[in-house]
Amino acid sequence: MLEQIVQIVSNERSTDSYYRLVVRAPQIAPRIQPGQFAHVRILPMKDALLRRPFSIFQVEGDTFSILYKTVGKGTVALARMQSGEELSVIAPLGHGFTVPQPGAETPLLVAGGYGMAAMYLLARRSPQKGIVFVGGRRRVDILCEREFQDLGWEVRVTTEDGSHGEKGLVTQPLLAELKSAQRGRKLFACGPTPMLQAVGKIAGEHDVPAELSMDEHMCCGVGVCLTCVIRVRSGDTWEYRRTCTEGPVFDARDVVWEEAR
Ligand SMILES: Cc1cc2nc3c(=O)[nH]c(=O)nc-3n(C[C@H](O)[C@H](O)[C@H](O)COP(=O)(O)OP(=O)(O)OC[C@H]3O[C@@H](n4cnc5c(N)ncnc54)[C@H](O)[C@@H]3O)c2cc1C
Ligand code: FES
């Protein structure tokens, strides 16, 4: 983990309210593992002390990128920044996904909205190709479909309004796939909490291993403030774990969801 001032290479609108930011970070880029995140201080912001966490999307040479959605003052300020300007980042942070071993289970990736960003490096570094299930509310929420196809992965799209792919939730085609006769699959998921909970439940019912990247609000990002804790099984009971340092990726069998507490 390094704290560095990095320079913006590009910061471009992708679709609707989604942007792609590329920064030059020669010391950070080679250390990044799939599912890890960067904690970004947006220097032009008034209360710039509070950092914002973003999954690391792509790594190319001495650069890395994030894919972000403008939702509030931090991301709106970030969207106004231009190439040549500087950001402070702490990265790479967190415990990411387990990259499949050669000949291991076929990976099935499940992503909702900006959750796609956390999945790309995993797909790129996985020795075997699998299927990416991607869901969103509308067509504009479906990100990076082309990038995954270019890696040779099959992409199955769902939108809630039916404007692209199958109409409905991302768990529908996932369930259909798991009901097919094949064995030896492993799920990896990143997206909104209700989606993660649904994927965890499906994985349990079909006895399929699953890793979930939990989306919790974060403050310090380095294990000090305890803003980001979730409950994780420990023997017959549970204990709090910090998603910023012990996650964000957890084994689905270990996560204790709200309704189960
Ligand atoms: C490990 C991790 C990885 C993330 N990766 C990405 C990514 O790749 N791309 C991306 O666009 N966003 C990602 N996020 C969410 C991102 O950090 C927030 O959207 C961002 O901090 C909002 O900052 P803001 O100042 O614009 O919004 P604020 O003004 O702080 O808040 C605006 C709205 O966004 C909501 N919000 C804030 N944080 C989160 C969160 N963690 N999850 C859901 N809603 C939130 C607030 O509740 C509020 O409704 C990630 C979050 C985590 C914890
Ligand atoms: S965000 Fe501070 S402990 Fe995790």
Tell me the residue range of the domain where 79 lies.
2-93
Ligand nearest to the backbone CA of 230 = 2
Q: What pLDDT score was predicted for residue 261? A: 46
For the Cβ of 221 lying below 6 angstroms from any atom of ligand 2, the answer is: yes
The whole-model pTM stands at: 0.95
* Residue 150: strand, helix, or coil: helix
Alpha carbon distance 109, 94 (integer Å):
19
Do 149 and 177 belong together in one domain?
Answer: yes
Do 123 and 179 belong together in one domain?
Answer: yes
Q: What pLDDT score was predicted for residue 170? A: 96
Residues composing the chain: 261
CATH of residue 9's domain is 2.40.30.10
Query: Atom 21 of ligand 1 has which residue's CA nearest to it?
Result: 52
Structure tokens at 119: 């999945």
Q: Specify the number of domains making up the chain.
A: 3
Instruction: Say yes or no to pLDDT of 44 above 90.
Output: no
pLDDT, tens only, 62-76 = 999 999 999 999 999
Q: What pLDDT score was predicted for residue 239? A: 96
Do 88 and 106 belong together in one domain?
Answer: no
**CA 221–ligand 2 middle distance (angstroms):** 5
Do 32 and 14 belong together in one domain?
Answer: yes
Test site for ligand 2: of 228, 230, 246, most ligand atoms within 8 A of the Cβ: 228
| Ligand 2 atom, smallest distance to 245 CA | 4
Alpha carbon distance 236, 233 (integer Å):
7
The closest of 189, 203, 258 to 230, measured between CA atoms, is 258
What are the pocket residues of ligand 1 if the criterion is a CB atom closer than 6 Å to any ligand atom?
Answer: 37, 52-55, 66-69, 71-75, 114, 117, 215-218, 248
For residue 88, list its beta bridge partners: 5, 41
Distant-in-sequence, close-in-space partners of 119: CB < 8 Å, separation ≥ 6: 34, 109, 111, 132, 148, 188, 190
Instruction: Say yes or no to pLDDT of 34 above 80.
Output: yes
pLDDT, tens only, 171-196 = 999 999 998 867 789 999 999 999 99
